[in-house]
Amino acid sequence: MEKIRIGIAGLGRLGKHHAGNLAFRVKGAELVAACSIVDAELDWARESLGVEHLFEDYERMLRSTQLDAVFLVTPTNRHPQQIMAALQAGRHVFCEKPLALTIAECEEVIGVAREHPDRVTAIGFVRRYDPGYAYAKRKIQAGAIGRPILFRAQTADMDETAAFQVEFSKSSGGVFLDASIHDMDLARWLLESEVQDVYCVGDCYVHAEFRRYDDADNATALYRLRNGAAASITVSRTAMHGHDTHAEVVGTKGSLVVGRPPRLVNVDICDEHGVRSECVPSFYERFEQAFLLEAQDFVRCVAEGCQPRCSLADAAEATRIAIATTTSYRRGERVVL
Amino acid sequence: MEKIRIGIAGLGRLGKHHAGNLAFRVKGAELVAACSIVDAELDWARESLGVEHLFEDYERMLRSTQLDAVFLVTPTNRHPQQIMAALQAGRHVFCEKPLALTIAECEEVIGVAREHPDRVTAIGFVRRYDPGYAYAKRKIQAGAIGRPILFRAQTADMDETAAFQVEFSKSSGGVFLDASIHDMDLARWLLESEVQDVYCVGDCYVHAEFRRYDDADNATALYRLRNGAAASITVSRTAMHGHDTHAEVVGTKGSLVVGRPPRLVNVDICDEHGVRSECVPSFYERFEQAFLLEAQDFVRCVAEGCQPRCSLADAAEATRIAIATTTSYRRGERVVL
Amino acid sequence: MEKIRIGIAGLGRLGKHHAGNLAFRVKGAELVAACSIVDAELDWARESLGVEHLFEDYERMLRSTQLDAVFLVTPTNRHPQQIMAALQAGRHVFCEKPLALTIAECEEVIGVAREHPDRVTAIGFVRRYDPGYAYAKRKIQAGAIGRPILFRAQTADMDETAAFQVEFSKSSGGVFLDASIHDMDLARWLLESEVQDVYCVGDCYVHAEFRRYDDADNATALYRLRNGAAASITVSRTAMHGHDTHAEVVGTKGSLVVGRPPRLVNVDICDEHGVRSECVPSFYERFEQAFLLEAQDFVRCVAEGCQPRCSLADAAEATRIAIATTTSYRRGERVVL
Amino acid sequence: MEKIRIGIAGLGRLGKHHAGNLAFRVKGAELVAACSIVDAELDWARESLGVEHLFEDYERMLRSTQLDAVFLVTPTNRHPQQIMAALQAGRHVFCEKPLALTIAECEEVIGVAREHPDRVTAIGFVRRYDPGYAYAKRKIQAGAIGRPILFRAQTADMDETAAFQVEFSKSSGGVFLDASIHDMDLARWLLESEVQDVYCVGDCYVHAEFRRYDDADNATALYRLRNGAAASITVSRTAMHGHDTHAEVVGTKGSLVVGRPPRLVNVDICDEHGVRSECVPSFYERFEQAFLLEAQDFVRCVAEGCQPRCSLADAAEATRIAIATTTSYRRGERVVL
């Protein structure tokens, strides 16, 4: 049982999370290298994870002979170049979503990937690995709700993260490309069709600072899919109770509700506030298990020589929908894809 | 304590429900007359409720000297004329929603009502009296969730009622005027603003028969309100688990979820299907208490000489939104009101 | 449709609740008389309910020729004499639980009732009329959970009522006779067997004042029934979140959970405390519908000449169990009935 | 970072589960040896986990020079001897609960452990590591519910496991020593006191085969603790809906409910059965995360030279309570410890 040797680029909060999984919890994986421009992060990788090969420069890490694969947890605008460089260096690639901020870049990456069909290229649409969403997918495939006709979802971050989000908005592409994109991917995956048009309503209701980037703090978009199904996707950056990500899939024979309520742990508290549950504070807690399953599946794909459940074409389509949604939000009009 | 003497017109299922409330459960009310073109219904009113004055003709009931008020539970296309006739006969009026199928008729009724300012004119937007929605309204007014920015709601009837609904679609004005209109009224009431535009996506996914009337069996509409808030309203005629009417109001400081899950009774069953709750089969069970509170409030308004919480202008606006939604559904385009 | 003419004795908070139901919400009933030693209560009955015949003396009310039935909402120690006097005066009787504080008195009442078999004698074990418990009973009768083998229940009052409860403890017979007795009745009703022995553990954990009456503020009792089934019943007077009364019935083929959580209204609040529901503050809100159904059933029994679902023998047995539980609590030993 | 080298004894279903955790998911651990009398199990260990040193004889594994610690997932009656042998061989020990079937054996083990104070000895009371129960413990320690006064818990296995349980009953010591013992440990841990007496009611309601071993298929026990608190513990082997293990801790200022409902995944299904959740089928799924956290904590204790949160004395006390409960069940009397 030879291990897949992996190098990670980007050791911010999510990067650290991935690195910890790769170092200790993914059978068949070995985290052998890490790359960051922050010295403290490299120190952390060496000391906490025992990573041997540390780099400040991504290209140098790629050229290091020891690697089978790279994990990219870097800013979105670096994704396309870094993915292509990795493929050209013969590495398998896992890259956090979104694939890119423009369609042109998505297509460029797809072109390069086509030249390296034996390399695994995974984009981190982590919710496909969440036990809840994956269970819904299996139920739908088994016919439990008939034909899916409506996807209704929400991704909501806590208001206390908003200051960070404003700063992040500069490079993230905005709330639709950064957060809603997960639900857009799920809509396609669960409704099994492509988005045809979108109408989006939202605003900076709480944090005017998002206007600087023509971004929203709360918005809801309604989509028509080519097979006639509908999707309604809400995104929020001002939730008070927790990170509240949930979805419903309505079919002709029943419906499924995923992720409600967003309990931190399976405990109810009865006190002067009534009967209540504390909620997960962020997507780290909400998708902790999914991040692990996602990394395990990537390693399995590399080992077995197959591609993961979310293709590059899927990732490109999600970007396309997110851009159209952003346009609709900004113009106040329906946008046809 | 003199009682308000009431005559009811229309003794179908909902009419019977109202009649039973007026006869036995509304303090200060006396059901003295009933009007129906179905003999068996009049027999029922006499035998089960002890109603003395029975009529086949609405105009004759209006002229009978004993009445203070009428309750109209008749087909929608009769509402405008019957309301106006009642007002002109000096009666207070309670009429089931919707007020009318056209804006012109709504305005005509409003004009006549303006000439009878001392008569109470109530339109049965019953959800405003539901303990759940009313509790949400009070919480919002108390500032519990800050400024409301999103209303997300659903009205879903059971699939087993669809055959009836198809038949009913002929005269009801379709699913938006008949069912969604409640949520449109709630959106305005809870978001405290007017609808500016709408985009609606839906289809006859299950019952092609609805196409005959250019009607839908499932649809979702997204609205922008003048104050910037959004509303997403889903309607369904194909629910398998029960009549599932619920809503969420998201505010800048918290959110409220009304009516989930739609439990028939506060009992969970643990058996081979898991942990489960049976659901209310129809809106009669779901809004049983609201129908009673609504009737009690009407009688109180008559007694105290005030108007109910939902005005004729509110009812007209709901019709306007429902018509715009129907147009958007049929054309597949955004419609500006 | 001749109405049953009823006189009510006792117009405290629960008495007022019953009186309001009888005056306005029970088809076939007419509240014609009221008895209280508090002038303000009689004034209230006349002004708010329009009761014509007012009495300070119970015996005089009984002798008034107009009555068909009496409703007793008086202190427990008066129940036996008042019931017997009513029967002897030819009146039907509804009396709040418990029937009496001693077995001897229970038997005396049963003896008198036997001499008046055509009089309806109902004891207010209101939970048998609660839609949740009644639904559980029907499910059990339909075989939905197989043979019931365990009843696990709780009655919890809010801590803020404790000061009142201490005062009330003087005459109520203590928490087992006053509150738990409902669950004892339910145990027999749902398990369809008699209690054989009991072991009770509890204390005055919060309010030492209850020790004055050898009473508890929290306790749990375990019962063995003659058919081998078990019952575990908890009682509390110190709940912080609301009046929390619930029960589970475990059968050989499934189980039922009644009344959890004790939501005030079907609304969830999402705010800085998490996802939460406010709870019913007292048994008035929790059993509002049950009190009405109970009164309606009493009137139906009188009209149809039948006895209600809870017999005097049932009520006596509940007292017997409550006394045994009190003994076990005080002695710290198992008590065989 | 030197790894703790571990040998596992027992590779039945739970043994395999532990082995997989130790092999791939516990940072700082290395599964180097496995012992089983079943050849296929040793093959599995080599092929699936890459375990190098395989033994049919426990004593030989102990003598192998490579081990730091052993994991015992063997029949209960072997626990005492195997723990003592391991300690005497200088190994740290993790052993599945219960520690032993008799008090004498418990004390013998404690005596030997006292002679090896630098060896970690952990007994697998896994629920102390479950995020739900651990969260409750922290809340209690933080004073969130005041002083705990009542622990009310249930452990229920699915009826479909009963045939296996009957067979297992021969050597397991019965349902109280095998299953309820977890809740007995939790009662002591969460109520912070010792059990004083117990009264237990139960029977073989469904599976008469358990009578062969004087065992029960359903039972409820009521305990009085020395600090005055109470505990009510139910155990069942006939649940239809899933493995349903939950608990409530009631305090003077609030209460906590852990593990309800026992959802398999955070998804609700709406279909012809109502609104429902599928449940975890067994304790493997319910406590999957706890088993991992438990193993991680054991390795941490070995690395840091400290003892785990559940001591041998705790484990012995749980056995004592389980034996007393068994006695009470069999005799139908209250038993004082």
For residue C148, give the chain D residue with the closest CA: D205
CA atoms of A330 and C179, how far apart (whole Å): 61
Our measurement of the distance from residue D184's CA atom to the centroid of its chain's CA atoms, rounded to an integer in Å, reads: 11
Structure tokens at D51: 């375990």
Among candidates D279, D271, D312, which has minimal Cα distance to D109?
D312
Structure tokens at D20: 């997989």
| Residue B256 reports pLDDT greater than 90 | yes
Which phi and psi (to 5°) does residue D80 adopt? -55, -50
Min Cα distance B227 → chain D (Å) is 35
Tokens 């808030």 found at: B229
The contacts of residue D2 (CB under 8 Å, 6+ apart) are none
Q: Kind and range of the H or E element at D111?
A: helix D103-114
Taking contacts as CB-CB distances below 8 angstroms, the residues of chain B near D244 are: 270
What's the pLDDT tens digit per position in A69-88? 999 999 999 999 999 999 99
**Cα dihedral sign, A114-A120-A124-A128:** positive
CA atoms of B322 and C131, how far apart (whole Å): 36
* pLDDT of res. A28: 94
Residue A317 to residues A86, A103, A224: CA-CA distances in angstroms? 22, 9, 15
The arithmetic mean of pLDDT across residues C174-183, rounded, is 97
Cα torsion D88, D90, D91, D93 to 10°: value is 50
Put the strands of the sheet holding C4-9 in their side by side order.
C53-55, C29-35, C4-9, C69-72, C92-96, C121-124
- Asked if C241 and A279 come within 8 Å (Cβ–Cβ), the reply is no
Taking contacts as CB-CB distances below 8 angstroms, the residues of chain C near D255 are: 239, 241
What's the pLDDT tens digit per position in C184-195? 999 999 999 999
CA atoms of C86 and C88, how far apart (whole Å): 5
% chain C with pLDDT above 90: 95
- 3-state SS, residue C211: helix
| Residue A1 reports pLDDT greater than 70 | no
Among candidates A155, A26, A40, A165, which has minimal Cα distance to A94?
A26
Among candidates D96, D78, D34, D64, which has minimal Cα distance to D298?
D96
The arithmetic mean of pLDDT across residues A264-280, rounded, is 98
A181: pLDDT confidence band, cut at 50, 70 and 90? very high
Among candidates A25, A116, A74, which has minimal Cα distance to A299?
A25
| Residue D31 reports pLDDT greater than 70 | yes
Query: Subunits touching B (CB < 8 Å, at least 3 pairs)?
Result: A, C, D
- Asked if A230 and B201 come within 8 Å (Cβ–Cβ), the reply is yes
Min Cα distance D23 → chain A (Å) is 8
Structure tokens at D179: 């299953």
Query: Subunits touching C (CB < 8 Å, at least 3 pairs)?
Result: A, B, D
Q: Kind and range of the H or E element at C221?
A: strand C218-225
The arithmetic mean of pLDDT across residues A312-332, rounded, is 98
Q: Are B263 and B213 in contact (CB under 8 A)?
A: no
The bridge status of strand D4-9 relative to strand D29-35 is: parallel
- 3-state SS, residue A6: strand
Average pLDDT, chain A: 97
Q: Are C9 and C18 in contact (CB under 8 A)?
A: no
What's the pLDDT tens digit per position in B192-248? 999 999 999 999 999 999 999 999 999 999 999 999 999 999 999 999 999 999 999
The bridge status of strand B335-336 relative to strand C4-9 is: unpaired
C238: pLDDT confidence band, cut at 50, 70 and 90? very high
What's the pLDDT tens digit per position in C150-172? 999 999 999 999 988 898 888 89
Number of B–C residue contacts, CB under 8 Å: 85
Taking contacts as CB-CB distances below 8 angstroms, the residues of chain C near D149 are: 203, 205, 218
Average pLDDT, chain D: 97
CA atoms of D236 and D217, how far apart (whole Å): 6
Q: Kind and range of the H or E element at A246?
A: strand A246-251
Our measurement of the distance from residue A284's CA atom to the centroid of its chain's CA atoms, rounded to an integer in Å, reads: 11
CA atoms of B260 and D275, how far apart (whole Å): 10
- Asked if A260 and D271 come within 8 Å (Cβ–Cβ), the reply is no
In 10 A of CB A117, how many CB atoms? 8
| Residue A2 reports pLDDT greater than 90 | no
The arithmetic mean of pLDDT across residues D180-192, rounded, is 98
CA atoms of D167 and D171, how far apart (whole Å): 8
What's the pLDDT tens digit per position in A13-32? 999 999 999 999 999 999 99
Angle at C332 (CA atoms; ends C328, C334), nearest 5 degrees = 55
CA atoms of B262 and D207, how far apart (whole Å): 37
Taking contacts as CB-CB distances below 8 angstroms, the residues of chain A near C272 are: 240-241
The contacts of residue D23 (CB under 8 Å, 6+ apart) are A27, D31, D49, D50, D51
Structure tokens at B126: 């019953």
What's the pLDDT tens digit per position in D269-304? 999 999 999 999 999 999 999 999 999 999 999 999
- Asked if C265 and B132 come within 8 Å (Cβ–Cβ), the reply is yes
For residue D292, give the chain A residue with the closest CA: A25
Name the burial class of residue C306, with classes exposed (0-12), middle (13-18) and buried (19+) by CB atoms within 10 angstroms of its CB: exposed
| Residue B1 reports pLDDT greater than 80 | no
For residue C256, give the chain B residue with the closest CA: B269
Across chain B, the runs of DSSP E, i.e. the strands, are 4-9, 29-35, 53-55, 69-72, 92-96, 121-124, 148-158, 195-203, 218-225, 230-239, 246-251, 254-258, 267-271, 274-277, 335-336
CA atoms of D62 and D69, how far apart (whole Å): 9
Q: Kind and range of the H or E element at A274?
A: strand A274-277
Q: Rounded to the nearest 10 degrees, what angle do helices A288-304 and A13-24 cross at?
A: 60
The arithmetic mean of pLDDT across residues B123-141, rounded, is 98
Cis before A131 (ω within 30): no
Residue A116 to residues A59, A84, C87, C95: CA-CA distances in angstroms? 18, 10, 95, 85
Q: Are B237 and B166 in contact (CB under 8 A)?
A: no
Among candidates B234, B159, A260, which has minimal Cα distance to D268?
A260
Task: Give the closest of C26, C256, C265 to B267, CB-based.
Answer: C256
Min Cα distance A275 → chain D (Å) is 9
For residue A47, give the chain D residue with the closest CA: D1
- Asked if C270 and B257 come within 8 Å (Cβ–Cβ), the reply is yes
Taking contacts as CB-CB distances below 8 angstroms, the residues of chain B near A240 are: 253-254
Number of C–D residue contacts, CB under 8 Å: 83
Task: Give the closest of C239, C244, C271 to A240, CB-based.
Answer: C271
Min Cα distance C290 → chain B (Å) is 13
Note the maximum CA span of chain D: 63
- Asked if B224 and A332 come within 8 Å (Cβ–Cβ), the reply is yes
- Asked if B265 and C27 come within 8 Å (Cβ–Cβ), the reply is no
Task: Give the closest of D255, D257, D266 to A259, CB-based.
Answer: D266
The contacts of residue D186 (CB under 8 Å, 6+ apart) are D127, D128, D133, D151, D153, D247
- Asked if A222 and B199 come within 8 Å (Cβ–Cβ), the reply is yes
CA atoms of D90 and D168, how far apart (whole Å): 32
Average pLDDT, chain C: 97
Tokens 């920015």 found at: B149
Task: Give the closest of C149, C202, C334 to D199, CB-based.
Answer: C334
The bridge status of strand C121-124 relative to strand C92-96 is: parallel
What's the pLDDT tens digit per position in B290-337? 999 999 999 999 999 999 989 999 999 999 999 999 999 999 999 999
Min Cα distance B12 → chain D (Å) is 27
Chain D positions touching chain C (beta carbons under 8 Å) = 147, 149-150, 152, 199, 201-203, 205-206, 218-224, 228, 230, 232, 234, 236, 238-241, 250, 252-255, 332-334
CA atoms of C310 and A225, how far apart (whole Å): 59
CA atoms of B315 and B323, how far apart (whole Å): 13
Min Cα distance C270 → chain D (Å) is 18
Taking contacts as CB-CB distances below 8 angstroms, the residues of chain D near B239 are: 270
pTM for the predicted model, two decimal places: 0.96
- Asked if B132 and C266 come within 8 Å (Cβ–Cβ), the reply is yes
Q: Rounded to the nearest 10 degrees, what angle do helices C312-331 and C103-114 cross at?
A: 180
CA atoms of D72 and D100, how far apart (whole Å): 13
Taking contacts as CB-CB distances below 8 angstroms, the residues of chain C near D203 are: 149, 228
Structure tokens at A283: 């997507």
- Asked if B240 and D276 come within 8 Å (Cβ–Cβ), the reply is no
CA atoms of C190 and B114, how far apart (whole Å): 59
Which phi and psi (to 5°) does residue C277 adopt? -125, 135
- 3-state SS, residue A169: helix
One-character DSSP codes across C163-188: HHHHHHHHHH--HIIIIIHHHHHHHH
Taking contacts as CB-CB distances below 8 angstroms, the residues of chain D near A131 are: 265-266
Q: Are C126 and C170 in contact (CB under 8 A)?
A: no
CA atoms of D137 and C188, how far apart (whole Å): 36
- Asked if A236 and B250 come within 8 Å (Cβ–Cβ), the reply is yes
Partner residues linked to A267 by β-bridges: D258
Among candidates B22, B130, B110, which has minimal Cα distance to B70?
B22
